[in-house]
């Protein structure tokens, strides 16, 4: 059981480091880190499932809460990755002229690109 806990904790630390680095680094370097973060999800979910099965009978509400928090964390991280990728693609397409389109978007007008 201690090995599973160690794998789980190391996976959380690795996701925190690689996810933060992927959100901070330049667009050319972040794709590998995003992929690394997504690969680290596998041991995190497997170890989390094993730990949840072990504790579900004694603390069912806390187990459900932990699973919900973990899924929310992963969802927020993926949403952050998607926003960064979309922002980087938009900036690469339009360069420094992207600020001139902001008034149109704030007025509710959207342009199809």
Instruction: Convert the pLDDT of each residue in 24-66 to its tens digit.
Output: 887 777 788 888 889 999 999 999 999 999 999 999 999 999 9
Residue 105 has pLDDT above 60, yes or no: no
Q: Which residue has the higher pLDDT, 80 or 103?
A: 80
Q: Which residue has the higher pLDDT, 85 or 104?
A: 85
pLDDT at 112: 53
Q: Which residue has the higher pLDDT, 85 or 66?
A: 66
Contacts of 19 (CB under 8 A, 6+ apart): 33, 37, 77, 80
For residue 25, what is the DSSP state? Answer: S
pLDDT, one tens digit per residue, over 5-30 is 999 999 999 999 998 888 888 777 77
What global pTM score does this model have? 0.69
pLDDT at 94: 58
**Rounded to whole angstroms, what are the CA distances from 86 to 48, 79, 93, 103, 112?**
31, 10, 11, 19, 15
């Amino acid at each position: 059981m201690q090995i599973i806990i160690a794998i789980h904790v190391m996976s959380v630390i690795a996701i925190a480091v690689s996810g933060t680095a992927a959100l901070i680094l330049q667009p050319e370097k972040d794709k590998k880190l995003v992929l690394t973060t997504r690969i680290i999800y596998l041991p995190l979910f497997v170890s989390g499932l094993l730990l949840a099965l072990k504790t579900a009978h004694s603390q069912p509400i806390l187990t459900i809460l932990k699973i919900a928090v973990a899924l929310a964390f992963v969802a927020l991280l993926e949403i952050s990755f998607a926003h960064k990728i979309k922002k980087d693609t938009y900036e690469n397409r339009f360069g420094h002229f992207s600020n001139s389109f902001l008034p149109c978007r704030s007025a509710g007008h959207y342009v199809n690109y």
